[in-house]
Structure 1
Amino acid sequence: MNNYLAAVPVKFTDGPSKDYLSDLNEALAKYDPRGANGQLFWSRNDDGTIMIRVVIEASDEKTARDRARETVNSALLDTGHTVATAQALVDSIEASTWQQ
């Protein structure tokens, strides 16, 4: 298994607040292979898309992209969002090997 840094773009129907994004980071921590000690990253693109970066353990890039999508979707559900209010843009997920 390798570690991958995956970037998952997410579109929200209403722009999320910084407090919500902090809660989302907490929700993502339980899925992070590094545990709660891992630092999670998000950024807001010019078009309002939130780019969420997570570390994923996987055997290859395709599996890493799939697990990243599942991880972000789970965290969105954990924090009260559904596909009607937030959507991961699965065709745009990128993953590359990552060394801690």
Structure 2
Amino acid sequence: MTNYLATVPVHFVDKPSKDYLSDFNEALAKYDPRGAEGELFWIRDDRGTIVIRIVIRASDESAAQGKAREAVNSALVDTGHTVATAQAHLDGIEIRTWES
């Protein structure tokens, strides 16, 4: 298994608060091999898109992309979002090898 850094753009209908992003980070921690020690790194653009980075352990880049999609979508659901209020841009997921 290899660690990959996945970059996942997510568009929120309403601008998420810093408290929400903190909760979202906690929800993502259970999917990140670093656990709670892995900090959510995000960038907000002018259209309300948040770019999230999460470490994924997978056998290859394709599997890492699938796991990243699942992790982000699960964390969104865990924190009360649906496809009507937040949506991951699956075609925009970028994967690269990551070393701790």
Runs ≥4 residues deviating over 2 A: none
The answer to whether structure 1 residue 85 and structure 2 residue 90 are counterparts is no
Normalization by structure 1: what TM-score? 0.95
Return the alpha-carbon distance in structure 1 between the equivalents of residues 39 and 15 of structure 2: 23
Quick one: which amino acid aligns to residue 96 of structure 1?
R
C-alpha deviations, 1:38-73, integer Å up to 9, x for none?
A: 222111123221001000001111111110010000
Q: Secondary structure at the match of 1:81?
A: coil
TM-superposed CA distance for 1:85, in Å, is 0.6
Quick one: which amino acid aligns to residue 95 of structure 2?
A
Equivalence for 2:37: 37
Q: May I ask how many residue pairs the two structures share in their alignment?
A: 100
Return the alpha-carbon distance in structure 2 between the equivalents of residues 76 and 6 of structure 1: 16
Question: Which runs of no fewer than 5 residues in structure 2 stay unpaired?
Answer: none
Equivalence for 1:73: 73
Equivalence for 1:3: 3
Return the alpha-carbon distance in structure 1 between the equivalents of residues 89 and 5 of structure 2: 16
- Please tell me whether the aligned partners of residues 12 and 86 of structure 2 are also in contact (alpha carbons under 8 angstroms): yes
- Please tell me whether the aligned partners of residues 10 and 86 of structure 2 are also in contact (alpha carbons under 8 angstroms): yes
**Aligned positions of 1:25-64 closer than 5 A:** 25-64=25-64
